[in-house]
Every structure is written in structure tokens, then in C-alpha cells.
Structure 1
Amino acid sequence: MIKLSKSGWNNVIIFVVMGFILLINVVNKNTYSPDAEQVDIHANQALAILGENQVVLTLSIENVVLVERIARTWRARPASIAGQALEQMMMSWQQSSGELMMQAPEIDRQFALNVTLDIAGQPQPLQLNVYATEQQLLVFNQNTQQWLALPIEMYGQLFPQEIFAN
């Protein structure tokens, strides 16, 4: 064993701990870097309708239904949906993701539901066109010019029947 004084061993311990911290830092940067996240997004080609940390202030459907954030709750006008159903609808908008489509699908654009979302901190509202086909729900983001394909079952979660009741 190497014979070092007490201060010599302290220096050895300090350098070993610093090396260990540097090693953890390098591994952490490789694992959680933005470049790695970009590769994962493009590899899976799954994309969320809204960003993870985006806060929806208002949601307008066809300029007929308006959902507003009031503190931590939601209010719809006309008040055809409220309470837990409205909370579930807005949570679906916040958490939904779909498969990124490389080519625009062949659909009749006159059957779109126009959805406008005001996002906190964004100067322009998010403009979406939603199309329901027999197999899937298609969402066109006008801001990014991207198409997303979601399962058709998401239609009932994003647009509950109560929302259009008079």
C-alpha cells in the first residue's frame, strides 16, 4: 500500500471525488441533452399536440364554443359542459400525442373543425384543423405546417358530445 500523509490522502480523495462528479456530468449530458431528445422524437415520430409545459389559456372550437381558464378550473361558453367532463377534455388536449405524418393526407378540407388555442407566453394563437376519418383523427397544425395522426378514439375525448349540445 502507498504510504501518504494524512493531507496526501485527503488530496487523493478530493481528486477521485472530482473525477467521479465529472464522469456523472458527462454521462448525464449524453443522456439528457437536447440533441438526444431530438433524435428520440424523430426516431419514434410521435409528437404532442401541445408542448409539455405549455399552459392553455383559452380554447375555441369553430368560434362556437369557448373554454377559458379561470385560475385552476375551466369554464365553457355556452355552458354545455362543466365540471369533471370539462377537466377531462382539457387534460386530453394537454396530453394527446400522435404520429407525425410525412405527407399530407388526401382529405376534403371543408369538413375540418377549426380549433384555436391561446397559449401562455405565445404571441400567436395555435391554429389547428381537425379531421375525423373512419380510421384515425388527423390534426393539421397551421403554425408548424405539420400533420399528426391520432387514434379515432381520441375524437370523443377531445370533443365530447356535450360540447356541441344546445
Structure 2
Amino acid sequence: MVKLSKTGWNNVIIFAVMGFILVINLTNKKIFSVDENLNNEQEIALIGPQNIILTLSINDIVAIERIGRTWRATPANISRQALDQMMMSWQQSMGEAMAQAPEVDRQFSLEVKLDIAGQEQPLALNFYATEQQLLIFNQTTKQWLVMPIAMYGQLFPQEIFAG
């Protein structure tokens, strides 16, 4: 066994722990950084999981508001479970950024306003459904996003417009 003083052993332990932390950080960066960089370059969160939606208004016809941990829709055409799934879709949706603005007929848009906790101005989005894709214009950032057309049914269930 190597004879070291108490200070010497303390230095050995400190360097061993620092080496172990360095190994963990390097492997963590190799495992997670590639996937995160790819996703950050291609996809942008519609709302973002860290943002809390307080109210959602669709064309000033349908209003959805947060009541504690649940949601209330006015008019109340949608079941609680479907409403919870709809709002979860809003929270988790990701779209790909578009390089240039597409040609759309602006009269066929759905205008959505979202009040987000901690933000003074509501987030204003315009949705345009085509045969192949769902186009979103973020009026706040002046950015276009594209999603699969299947997301339209998750973000805007048919029951929400019934009645």
C-alpha cells in the first residue's frame, strides 16, 4: 500500500472525484447533445412545455380557460377528457420552421389567442389547413411553422365547434 499523508490522500480523493465528474459530463454530452441539436434545428414548440396556458380563444367563438388543474370550455360542447387531451396536444405540439412564407388564403384561417402565464401580450396564432399539412403563422414572432394535417384534429376536435 502507498504511504501518503492525510493531505496527500485528500488530494488523491479530490482528483479521483473530479475525474469521475469529468467522465460523467463527457458521456452525458455525447449521449444527449446530438439528439437535442437535431430537434432544436428542425422543430419548434408551439407553446412549450414550460409555458402555462391560462386561456385559449378560437375565432372569438370558443373560449377555454384553466380552472385549477382542469379546463372549462364555453360553449361546453366537449367532454372533460377530450378537453384535457386537446389541451395536452397544445402544450406538447412541435412544428417545423419554414424558410419562406407559403401562399395561403387568409380568409380560411382559424385565429387562436393564448394567454400564457407570465406574458403580458397574448400569443396570437393563425392556422391554415391544406390537404397535406397544417400551416401556422405566429403573429408574435412572425414565423411560419408546418405540422402534419393529422394534428388539426388533435388541436381542434370536432366537438369543440358543435352546436
After TM superposition, the score normalised by the length of structure 1 is: 0.85
Cross-structure match for 1:67: 64
Query: Could you say what secondary structure the match of 1:74 adopts?
Result: strand
Cross-structure match for 1:15: 15
Superposition map of 1:20-59 within 5 A: 20-22=20-22, 24-25=24-25, 40-42=39-41, 45-59=42-56
Superposition map of 1:98-113 within 5 A: 98-113=95-110
* Letter aligned with residue 97 of structure 1: M
Post-superposition offset of 1:99: 1.3
Residue 97 (structure 2) pairs with residue 121 (structure 1)? no
* Letter aligned with residue 164 of structure 1: F
Residue 3 (structure 2) pairs with residue 4 (structure 1)? yes
Residues 63-88 of structure 1, C-alpha deviation per residue, up to 9 Å, x if partnerless?
Answer: 00000000000000011113101111
Post-superposition offset of 1:5: 2.7
Q: 1: CA distance between counterparts of 2:131 and 2:59?
A: 22
Q: 1: CA distance between counterparts of 2:3 and 2:129?
A: 75
Q: Where does structure 1 lack aligned partners over 5 or more consecutive residues?
A: none
Q: Where does structure 2 lack aligned partners over 5 or more consecutive residues?
A: none
Paired residues of 1:76 and 1:82 also in contact (CA < 8 A): no
Post-superposition offset of 1:39: 6.7
Identity %: 66
Q: How many residues align?
A: 161
Post-superposition offset of 1:165: 1.0
Cross-structure match for 1:90: 87
- Residue from 131, 135, 142 that aligns with 2:139: 142
Post-superposition offset of 1:51: 1.4
Query: Could you say what secondary structure the match of 2:77 adopts?
Result: coil
Cross-structure match for 2:76: 79
Paired residues of 1:59 and 1:117 also in contact (CA < 8 A): yes
- Closer, same or farther in 2 for the Cα pair 1:133/1:163, shift >3 Å? same
Q: 1: CA distance between counterparts of 2:20 and 2:152?
A: 50
